[in-house]
């Protein structure tokens, strides 16, 4: 079928649906929902059999849904209608939730249902559920719905229901004197990544994000108790929670201690080591060991890695290489493995150019430490999405095992034509060929986990259920295999041979020369793109590599 994807942005859900439909040979184009007239124009240019809206913030105009069948992906169970569907489900602590694909009509979310899927709920942030359970259910429901409309013999049924109101800040408010930690976490989770919970810190209004439970610290409810790295701990009626990120009025989302320098006067509550703490608390880098394997997890909010985070992770990695293990598994975080340098902390710096330079050097130092590791075999276990430099940082490991369902964006140019570093010029061409590498960078399209393995970019795609158990088993097999010493020798020899042909320092210097131009040169594209990215500015046009119907030489197939 010829399917037009209409979306507020090309987010990970839209990307995943795009790749899944492409894999089934549907003819696809994308238009961002910018204005009704633009949508109408896209429909008349592309003449789709179906308009599919996986992520919309506004209604589709009648001029479109009355002419072409339009499927809406609603993050709610059949009968659930209206905005903030997932927010209400998370805050209301439901046992199960779901996704419904329904046909657009005049009344919002009230059209006939073409497919729906359910999933059990988990205590997690809204954005985490969205990127995991909601995405999986949405893909499954969309594929069923598309098959049904293509088959032509399915009669969709209406489901009775009532619309709920949009969730307002009054519904999200936290009463620190009365609410326990679980209720506070549910409120912040329901508003995370957007819009956050409106609150006050240090007497200033702000929005709270990125909440973690705390097991031991206690104090007067509402009082700020401590800081650890970039997070702040606050007492609830029955315990305490950590706040990792905040957005001050008129500002951007930032690590809490960076947004509030006043937090420097709070007592520090440092962790004694990199070892994973047995009790719940804020710990972004956590190390554990089993069967000769070291596991290094790094739970960085949104997968963004600031200069300080890269330096701390490099220190933890070097420490891990001195442990008596044979394999180190780099686990990343649950939702993201890495999205490269931290564009928000760069934006907030006095000199974004200098901070970009410091950040890219820090992530390169980390990549180089992984590449030069001679004492262990390294595995990147990519269980969460990865983008830009994060995809190549993973490739610095000897093996990359990726979870089925993960979305990858191994290219940089969407960020104002960034050249990119993280040794991608060393790591990518041998895997996919020079032409393949150039095509990946130029086309700027996302990749599914199976696509990354088919291309030879990553090594194995493992099933989503039981991913971490599977990774641990495979890593233990590697560590305890009879030929382990031989494998380590081959790795060392390969590195030495590569170094003799062209030193890592030369790749790094060439990439950084390009990056220096991006950061300090006369073309401000990177700074403009970064500003709009961190400000979450709505798109004003659809990039041409997505809106195929706007190619001058595109024609409706005969």
Q: By CB under 6 A, name the binding residues for ligand COA.
A: 11-12, 193-194, 253, 302-304, 339-344, 385, 387-389, 409, 412, 414-415, 418
Shortest distance (Å) from residue 280 CB to ligand COA: 22
Q: How far apart are CA 510 and CA 173, in angstroms?
A: 51
> d(Cα 465, Cα 403) in Å, to the nearest integer?
9
Whether the Cβ atoms of residue 3 and residue 48 lie closer than 8 Å to each other: yes
Alpha-carbon distance 141 to 109, whole Å? 15
Whether the bond between 296 and the residue before it is cis, its omega within 30 degrees of 0, is no
The radius of gyration of the chain's CA atoms, rounded to the nearest angstrom, is 24
| Residues pairing with 244 in the sheet | none
Residue 294 vs 416, nearer CB to ligand COA: 416
Nearest approach, Cβ of residue 335 and ligand COA (Å): 9
Give me the least distance between CB of 304 and ligand COA, in Å please: 3
Question: Min. distance of Cβ 272 from ligand COA in angstroms?
Answer: 29
Supply the minimum distance, in Å, between the C-beta of residue 30 and ligand COA: 14
Residue 362: phi and psi, rounded to 5, are -70, -40
Take residue 395 and report the two structure tokens written for it. Answer: 């490739």
d(CA 288, CA 331): 11
Q: Are strands 70-74 and 80-81 parallel, antiparallel or unpaired?
A: unpaired
CB closer to ligand COA, 294 vs 340: 340
CA 103 – CA 223 distance, rounded (Å): 49
**Least gap, CB of 15 to ligand COA (angstroms):** 7
Provide the Cα torsion 314, 330, 442, 351; round to 10°: -30
Given the complex with ligand COA, which of 293 and 427 has the nearer CB atom?
427
* Residue with Cβ nearer ligand COA (45 or 415): 415
The CA angle 499-479-312, to the nearest 5 degrees, is 60
Instruction: Pinpoint the alpha helices (H) of 240-306.
Output: 256-259
Closer CB to ligand COA, residue 224 or residue 314? 314
Give the CB-side neighbour count of residue 509, counting CA atoms within 13 A.
5
Least Å distance, CB 259 to ligand COA, is 13
Query: Which is closer to ligand COA, CB of 54 or CB of 213?
Result: 54
- Check if the beta carbon of residue 319 is closer than 8 Å to that of residue 294: no
Tokens 């899927």 correspond to 117
Provide, rounded to whole angstroms, the least separation between the CB of residue 520 and ligand COA. Answer: 16
Q: Give whichever of 100 and 409 is closer to ligand COA, judged by the CB atom.
A: 409
CB of 378 to ligand COA, least distance (A): 20
Distance CA 309, CA 313 (A): 6
Report residue 66 as tokens: 């009355």
Of 330 and 418, CB closest to ligand COA: 418
Q: Among residues 105 and 451, whose Cβ is nearest to ligand COA? A: 451
Shortest CB 155 distance to ligand COA, Å:
34
For residue 534, the minimal CB distance to ligand COA (Å) is 6
Of the pair 341, 427, the CB lying nearest ligand COA is at 341
Nearer to ligand COA among residue 321 and residue 361 (C-beta): 361
Sheet holding 113-120, edge to edge: 27-32, 2-7, 50-55, 70-74, 96-103, 113-120
Q: Which two tokens stand for residue 208?
A: 């709270």
Element (H, E) at 429: helix 429-443
Assign 383 to helix, strand or coil. coil
Q: What is the closest distance, in whole angstroms, from the C-beta atom of residue 433 to ligand COA in the complex? A: 23
In a 13 Å sphere around the CA of 340, the CA atoms on its Cβ side amount to 23
**Closest by CA position to 478, among listed 344, 337, 381:** 381
Q: How far is Cα 390 from Cα 380, in angstroms, rounded to an integer?
A: 11
> Toward ligand COA, which CB reaches closer, 296 or 407?
407
């Amino acid at each position: 079928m010829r399917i037009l994807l209409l979306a507020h942005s090309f987010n990970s859900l839209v990307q995943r649906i795009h790749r899944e439909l492409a894999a089934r040979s549907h003819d696809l184009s994308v238009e961002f929902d910018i204005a009704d007239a633009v949508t109408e124009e896209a429909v008349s240019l592309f003449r789709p059999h179906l308009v599919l809206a996986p992520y919309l913030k506004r209604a589709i105009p009648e001029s479109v849904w009355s002419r072409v069948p339009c499927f809406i992906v609603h993050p709610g169970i059949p009968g659930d209608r209206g905005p903030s569907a997932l927010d209400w489900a998370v805050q209301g602590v439901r046992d199960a939730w779901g996704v419904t694909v329904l046909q657009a009509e005049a009344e919002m979310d009230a059209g006939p249902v073409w497919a729906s899927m359910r999933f059990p709920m988990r205590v997690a942030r809204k954005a985490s559920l969205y990127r995991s359970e909601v995405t999986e259910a949405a893909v499954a429901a969309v594929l069923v719905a598309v098959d049904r409309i293509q088959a032509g013999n399915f009669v969709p049924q209406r489901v009775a229901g009532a619309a709920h109101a949009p969730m307002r800040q009054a519904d999200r408010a936290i009463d620190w004197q009365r609410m326990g930690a679980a209720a506070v976490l549910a409120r912040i989770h329901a508003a995370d990544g957007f819009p956050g919970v409106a609150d006050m810190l240090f007497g200033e209004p702000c929005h709270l994000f990125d909440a973690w439970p705390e097991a031991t610290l206690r104090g007067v409810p509402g009082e700020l108790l401590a800081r650890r790295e970039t997070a702040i701990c606050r007492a609830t009626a029955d315990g305490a929670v950590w706040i990792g990120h905040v957005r001050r009025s008129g500002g951007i989302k930032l690590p809490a201690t960076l947004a509030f320098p006043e937090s420097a006067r709070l007592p520090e509550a440092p962790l004694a080591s990199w070892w994973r703490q047995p009790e719940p608390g804020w710990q972004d880098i956590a190390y554990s060991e089993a069967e000769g394997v070291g596991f290094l997890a790094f739970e960085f909010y949104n997968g963004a890695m600031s200069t300080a985070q890269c330096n701390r992770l490099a220190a933890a990695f070097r420490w891990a290489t001195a442990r008596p293990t044979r394999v180190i598994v780099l686990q990343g975080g649950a939702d993201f493995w890495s999205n490269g340098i931290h564009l928000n902390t760069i934006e907030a710096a006095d000199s974004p150019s200098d901070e970009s330079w410091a950040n890219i050097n820090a992530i390169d130092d980390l990549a180089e430490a992984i590449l030069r590791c001679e004492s262990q075999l390294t595995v990147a276990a990519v269980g969460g999405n990865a983008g830009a430099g994060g995809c190549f940082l993973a490739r610095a490991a000897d093996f990359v095992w990726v979870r089925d369902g993960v979305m990858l964006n191994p290219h940089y140019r969407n960020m104002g034509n960034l050249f990119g570093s993280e040794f991608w010029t060393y790591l990518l061409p041998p895997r996919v060929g020079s032409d393949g590498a150039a095509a990946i960078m130029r086309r700027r399209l996302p990749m599914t986990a199976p696509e990354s393995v088919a291309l030879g970019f990553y090594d194995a795609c493992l099933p989503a259920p039981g991913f971490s158990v599977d990774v641990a088993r495979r890593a233990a097999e590697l560590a305890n295999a009879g030929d382990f010493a031989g494998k380590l020798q081959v790795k060392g020899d390969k590195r030495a041979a590569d170094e003799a042909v062209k030193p890592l320092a030369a790749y790094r210097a060439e990439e950084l020369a390009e990056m220096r131009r991006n950061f300090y040169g006369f073309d401000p594209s990177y700074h403009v793109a970064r500003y709009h990215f961190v400000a979450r500015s709505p798109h004003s046009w659809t990039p041409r590599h997505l809106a195929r119907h706007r190619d001058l030489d595109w024609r409706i197939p005969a």
